Amino acid sequence: MNGLLLLVISMVTLLLAYLFYGRFLARKWGIDPSRKTPAHEFEDGQEYVPTSPAVVFGHEFASIAGAGPINGPIIAAMFGWLPALLWLLFGSVFFGAVHDFAALYTSVRNKGKSIGYVIERYVGKAGKRLFLIFVWLFSILIGAAFADIVAGTFAGFDAAGMRNSINASVASSSSLFIIAAIGLGFFIRKRKASDLASGIIAVDLLIICIVLGIFFPAYLDKSIWLYLIFAYIFIASIVPVWALGQPRNYLNSFLLIAMMLAAFVGVVFTAPQISIPAFTGFNINGNFLFPGLFVTIACGAISGFHSLVATGAASKQLSNEKHMLPISYGAMLVETMVAVLALISVGALAWNGKLPEGTPPVIFATAVSGFLSQLGLPNQASFIIVSLAVSSFVLTTLDTVARLGRLSLQELFSVDERVGNENKFWVKILKNKAAASVFTLLPAYLLAIMGYQNIWVLFGAANQLLAALTLIACTLFFKKAVFGKPSRRILMLIVPTIAMLAVTYTSLSLSIRNKILLLLNGKFNPAVDGIQLGIAILLLVLGILVAVSCAIKLLSKDQNKEISQTG
């Protein structure tokens, strides 16, 4: 299979999906450009901030496009390029992009509130508590996995103690980005800068940071970077979103798009051959195609994390409802293109059907820099820039997940959740920004020490299960609060909900089964396997309880409509 042909097929499929299916959903659900959005209605300068659609898109894309669209397809290539490609395209068009659009729409029509609020409104407080616990636990998992990945790309010394100049340059440039983002955030906020002016300044700042990073690399151990990363995302989780998180993600979105364009140009002009079989088998070294393929690819096709970004940030920044389609459905399709490029990359580096060795970020950076070197660009410089972009993907996701995890914990212990307990000391502590951030990031740090490889499968399962729970909550809202026959508006949500519940329940059950077998065979490691077993059981139980609670309400005969939500 030729990589260029695969790229063209993917691009045409995703473009047609946006023009036809995406617009069909917008018409069916009733997008209203004249309706006042929560960002204007509840503007507070902290969370609710009316923002340019270009900035919101950049923030959304940079937040959702973490390690998933690169790691997932590269790992899933063990099943062959065909099943991976089919799931990426079909899953993103009819599952992932629909999920993202529905989550943003539901949040905007519910005052910019979270999916937990929707569950409370239609299911009850108990359902909301269960969901918020699930989200908090998921935030810990994603924070641990992604922090370990970033620290690995920043590590200035290899296992033998030798200096790694590329990693050190990436770390230095990424650190400078943070400083530049703070200045950019204040400039956009205080000067009311236009999209053009902001974009020009952002590109200039990116170039300066990259050049300085190359000439002044920062050599620090991975363990030190892990400390610094968690210190940074702690700060990012408590400061106003416009001061750091939003401008940094906007700034990095230019780098991420530049990386995609570089990979795209490289594939177009080199037309690499995909040197892995189209299909290798249903069972690869104990990994089954179902549910392994769907859980492993994760963010490239559908991701529950996207709903947290949409309802925790984008819905509070959206200036007009007409921007919902590109910011949600469109951003998901762009992320899928990253995943397709990652699949082409691993196929191009394969030899005689054997997948290349190394971590997925290194494989991706090696392939793209190799494409560019064939076009005459210096290989080392290309590798540094691509590696920097990959780490930016992940670090911007960490910015967001730290804030979302903190908000989930605060919401869990908010006054309306704990009537009568609002004056208790421990409730006041957990409602505090800094304390809620610590209680989220500390367990994430402890899990990060284990390494992301040990929790990636759990992260994938939790991610897909969160997507299923979000979909069923959105389905409940659509049934209760829209005009016309509900079946015409919720069919496109019900099918992916049922499919993802089947995938995730199967995956978590297999994980629990495997750990129990290790225990019975005397190969159980309490420090690693014990934590994984406990998390898997907790995720499965929480997921079942939330799904059952929503399903009971969804199937109830209550015909009361809340027409004001969409009228």
Quote the CA–CA distance of 33 and 114 in Å, as a whole number.
22
Binning pLDDT at 50, 70 and 90, where does residue 421 land? low
Model pLDDT for residues 346-376, shown as the tens digit of each residue:
999 998 888 998 888 889 989 999 998 888 8
Of the ranges 17-26, 162-171, 181-190, 385-394, the best mean pLDDT one? 17-26
pLDDT at residue 146 is higher than 90: no
CA triple 484-488-491, angle to 5 deg = 145
Across the range 68-76, mean pLDDT stands at: 90
Model pLDDT for residues 94-106, shown as the tens digit of each residue:
999 999 999 999 9
Give residue 563's pLDDT.
44
CB-based contacts of 196, cutoff 8 Å, min separation 6: none
Give residue 4's pLDDT.
95
pLDDT at residue 392 is higher than 80: no
Across the range 264-292, mean pLDDT stands at: 92
pLDDT at residue 335 is higher than 90: yes
Of 491 and 426, the structure prediction assigns the larger pLDDT to: 491
Structure tokens at 112: 């910019």
Residue 219: burial class (beta carbons within 10 Å; 0-12, 13-18, 19+): middle
Packing angle between helix 487-520 and helix 289-297, nearest 10 degrees? 110
Give residue 488's pLDDT.
56
Whole-number mean pLDDT of the chain? 87
Across the range 331-359, mean pLDDT stands at: 92
Quote the CA–CA distance of 520 and 60 in Å, as a whole number.
45
pLDDT at residue 564 is higher than 70: no
Give residue 67's pLDDT.
73
Model pLDDT for residues 510-532, shown as the tens digit of each residue:
999 999 999 999 888 887 788 88
Quote the CA–CA distance of 95 and 498 in Å, as a whole number.
11
Quote the CA–CA distance of 552 and 222 in Å, as a whole number.
48
Quote the CA–CA distance of 63 and 399 in Å, as a whole number.
8
Give residue 273's pLDDT.
94
Give residue 422's pLDDT.
59
pLDDT at residue 415 is higher than 50: no
Domains, the chain, with CATH or none: 3-47+56-268+282-557 (1.20.1740)
Q: Are 236 and 288 in contact (CB under 8 A)?
A: no
Model pLDDT for residues 242-258, shown as the tens digit of each residue:
777 677 777 777 777 88
DSSP-derived letter for residue 557 is: -
Give residue 80's pLDDT.
96
**Could you tell me what percent of the chain has a pLDDT over 70?**
93
Model pLDDT for residues 175-222, shown as the tens digit of each residue:
998 888 888 877 777 766 677 777 788 888 888 988 898 889 999 999
CB-based contacts of 108, cutoff 8 Å, min separation 6: 37, 38, 315, 318, 321, 324
Q: Are 185 and 198 in contact (CB under 8 A)?
A: no
Residue 288 in 3-state DSSP? strand
